């Protein structure tokens, strides 16, 4: 067992309360489940719903597919590029947006050269709502994640996510009833998921897009986050 | 009805300094929520601390008068740059000592401690907080 795992177990054991973003224990970190004295699934963050909202209908957006994350192997960037290349090989010509920087930047520049693609090395956070409102599908084939903020912001803007089955993502997409989960973040799974969404009826895309927004409005407003943390506060006072 | 002191309505959020400013957006999100739930939220962290008030500003929705930021005055080496092991080790020790010093200095101001980022690295202060009989929440 790694030292960091032992330290993590001890930290959980010494804590009075462990809070988590994931409400369903099925998707919870097993260490938290096993060692926590009290686990409260209240820690889901909030999204600024006035800023992150649907400005453009999904079928009017400029980019079909986007990858917005650090350009690193653990974020699944090589698998994303490979999946896109397969789409082009099969005759599909989606417009691509890549946002981010990292150790794979030169790979990105080289790979996107001959595609209908735009690369933004840095997206200021205040620009993110506009950027997301120009995107139909967001791909996040990460190897490891918690509950990624970009995914929550994308759902708020009505973007349809394709993401790997890691961390809190399966819980998120199943609860939101939108997007596609990748069993494995591989080239072929990225390709298949993208192909199925790109060939979907515009009406069905619109419906998926709206479902994501409804979930965010229900669960990720500041008020709902404050209410959840009030529950935590009451639990703490019971223990003082 | 039992009256609660200001320290029992104060939450201290401990976060290990991290080499990426993106983690501080998460921290700012959490602190924004806490600023509406507690009379005071103290953030104890380092590294990109200069960007934190800006990030909270960016979130717009925080109750800023309830937020207090304590700078650990310790920076982690930049991720992509080569740094000798001895420097890394000394920085790590400095962060641990500063975290302990901050906990001792602030201990009368809070009853509840929330450990946020880099929790396995904060085991020494978790033990200290236990000895001080503080309520510990792990994220």
CB contacts of B126 in chain A (<8 Å) are 10-11, 14-15
Residues of B with CB under 8 A from a CB of A: 4, 8, 25-26, 29-30, 32-34, 36-38, 58-61, 111-112, 115, 119-123, 126-127, 130, 135-139
Q: What is the pLDDT of residue A24?
A: 81
Task: Give me the pLDDT at residue B70, please.
Answer: 92
Task: For residues A210-226, give the mean pLDDT.
Answer: 95
3-state secondary structure string across chain A: CCHHHHHHHHHHHHCCEEECCCCCHHHCCHHHHHHCCCEECCCCCCCCCCCCCCCCCHHHCCEEEEEECCCCHHHCHHHHHHHHHHHHHCCCCCCEEEECCCCCHHHHHHHHCCCCEEEECCCCHHHHHHHHCCEEEEEECCCCCCCCHHHHHHHHCCCEEEEECCCCHHHHHHHHCCCEEECCCCHHHHHHHHHHHHCCCHHHHHHHHHHHHHHHHHHCCHHHHHHHHHHHHHHHHHHC
Q: What is the pLDDT of residue B83?
A: 80
Using alpha carbons, list the distances in angstroms from residue B97 to B79, B85, B92, B124. 22, 18, 9, 9
Q: Please answer yes or no on whether B37 and A19 come within 8 Å at the CB atom.
A: no
**Pairwise CA distance, residues A93 & A105, whole Å:** 22
- pLDDT value, residue B74: 79
**Inside any domain, residue B83:** yes
Dmax (CA) for chain B in angstroms is 59
Which range among A56-60, A226-230, B55-59 shows the weakest confidence by mean pLDDT?
A: B55-59
ipTM, 2 decimals? Answer: 0.88
Beta strand B67-71 with A96-99 is unpaired
What is the predicted pLDDT for the residue at B98? 95
- B1 within some domain: no
Average pLDDT over residues B74-90: 79
Chain A, residues 18-47, CB within 8 A of chain B, namely 18-19, 36, 43, 45-46
Domain assignment of residue B100, yes or no: yes
Residue of A11, A45, A222 lying closest to B126 (CB–CB): A11
Residue B78: pLDDT over 50: yes
Which of A16-20, A41-45, A59-63, B108-112 bottoms out in mean pLDDT, i.e. has the lowest? A41-45
Per-residue pLDDT band at B1 (split at 50, 70, 90):
very low
B89 CB burial (10 A radius; 0-12, 13-18, 19+) = exposed
Domain range summary for chain A, segments of one domain joined by +? 3-46+221-239, 58-219
> Nearest CA to CA, how far is B73 from chain A (Å)?
24
Q: What is the mean pLDDT of chain B?
A: 87
Residues paired with A240 in a beta bridge: none
Q: What is the mean pLDDT of residues B2-7?
A: 60
Residue-wise pLDDT tens digits, A2-56 = 888 999 999 999 999 999 988 888 888 899 999 999 999 899 999 999 999 999 9
Residue A84's pLDDT is 97
Q: Quote the pLDDT of residue A26.
A: 83
pLDDT at residue B2 is higher than 70: no
What residues of chain B lie within 8 A of the CB of A232, using their CB?
Answer: 137
Region A210-228 average pLDDT: 95
Mean of the per-residue pLDDT values of chain A: 94
The upper half-sphere exposure of residue A210, i.e. CA atoms within 13 Å in the direction of its Cβ, equals 8
Decide if A229 and B37 are in contact by the 8 Å CB cutoff: yes
Q: Which two tokens stand for residue A60?
A: 């009017």
Global pTM value = 0.85
Total of domains in chain B:
1
Nearest CA in chain A to B135: A16
pLDDT computed for residue A167 by the predictor: 87
Read off the pLDDT of residues A84-139 as tens digits, 9 standing for 90 and up.
999 999 999 999 999 999 999 999 999 999 899 999 998 988 899 999 999 999 99
Query: Which of A14, A48, A240 comes nearest B61 by C-beta?
Result: A48
Residue A1 has what pLDDT?
79
Least confident of A63-72, B40-49, B96-105: B40-49
Residue of higher predicted confidence among B138 and B85: B138
The fraction of chain A above a pLDDT of 90, given in percent, is 84
Cα A181 to its chain centre, rounded Å, is 11
Neighbours of A159 (CB within 10 A): 30
pLDDT of residue B18: 73
Say whether A17 and B58 touch across the interface (CB within 8 A).
Answer: no
CATH number for the domain spanning B59: value is: 3.40.50
Instruction: Indicate if the pLDDT at residue B113 is higher than 90.
Output: yes
DSSP code, position B7: G
Nearest to A11 among B34, B38, B123 (CB): B123
* Residue A168 pLDDT greater than 70, yes or no: yes
Instruction: Say whether residue A14 is in contact with chain B using an 8 A CB cutoff.
Output: yes
The two three-digit tokens of residue B17, written as one number = 């300094």
Going by pLDDT thresholds of 50, 70 and 90, the confidence category of residue B137 is very high
> Using only C-alpha atoms, what is the Rg of chain A?
19
The SS3 of residue B82 is coil
CATH superfamily of A58-219: Glycogen Phosphorylase B; (3.40.50.2000)
Residue with tokens 């079909």: A64
Q: What angle do CA A23, A150, B115 make, to 5 degrees?
A: 55
Q: Identify whether B2 is part of a domain.
A: no
Instruction: Supply the range of the domain harboring residue B105.
Output: 7-138
Find the mean pLDDT for residues A69-73: 94
Query: Which chain A residues are Cβ-neighbours of B59 within 8 angstroms?
Result: 48
């Amino acid at each position: 067992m790694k030292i960091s795992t032992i330290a993590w177990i001890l930290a959980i054991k010494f804590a009075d309360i462990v809070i988590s973003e994931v409400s369903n224990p099925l998707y919870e970190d097993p260490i938290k489940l096993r060692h926590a004295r009290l686990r409260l699934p209240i820690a889901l963050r909030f999204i600024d719903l006035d800023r992150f909202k649907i400005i453009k209908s999904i079928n009017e957006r400029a980019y079909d597919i986007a990858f917005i994350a650090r350009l690193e192997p653990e974020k699944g960037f090589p698998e994303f590029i490979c999946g896109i290349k397969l789409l082009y090989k099969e005759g599909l010509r989606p417009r691509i947006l890549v946002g981010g920087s990292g150790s794979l930047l030169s790979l990105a520049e080289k790979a996107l050269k001959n595609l209908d693609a735009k690369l933004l090395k840095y997206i200021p956070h205040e620009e993110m709502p506009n950027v997301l409102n120009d995107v139909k599908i967001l791909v996040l084939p990460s190897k490891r994640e918690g509950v990624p903020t970009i995914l929550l912001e994308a759902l708020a803007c009505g973007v349809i996510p394709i993401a790997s089955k890691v961390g809190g993502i399966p819980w998120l997409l199943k609860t939101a009833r939108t997007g596609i989960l990748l069993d494995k973040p591989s080239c072929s799974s990225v390709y298949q998921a993208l192909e199925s969404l790109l060939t979907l009826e515009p009406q069905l895309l619109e419906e998926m897009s709206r479902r994501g927004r409804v979930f965010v409005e229900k669960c990720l407003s500041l008020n709902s986050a404050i209410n959840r943390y009030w529950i935590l506060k009451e639990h703490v006072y019971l223990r003082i | 009805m039992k009256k609660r002191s200001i320290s029992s309505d104060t939450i201290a959020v401990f976060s290990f300094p991290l080499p990426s400013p993106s983690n501080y957006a998460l921290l700012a999100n959490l602190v924004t929520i806490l600023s509406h739930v507690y009379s005071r939220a103290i953030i104890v962290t380092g590294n990109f601390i200069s960007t934190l008030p800006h990030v909270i500003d960016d979130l717009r929705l925080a109750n800023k008068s309830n937020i207090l930021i304590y700078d650990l005055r310790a920076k982690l080496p930049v991720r992509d740059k080569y740094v000798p092991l001895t420097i890394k080790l000394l920085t790590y020790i400095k962060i641990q000592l500063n975290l302990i010093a901050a906990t001792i200095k602030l201990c009368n101001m809070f009853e509840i401690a929330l450990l946020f980022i880099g929790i396995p690295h904060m085991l020494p202060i978790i033990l200290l907080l236990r000895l001080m009989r503080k309520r510990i929440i792990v994220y």
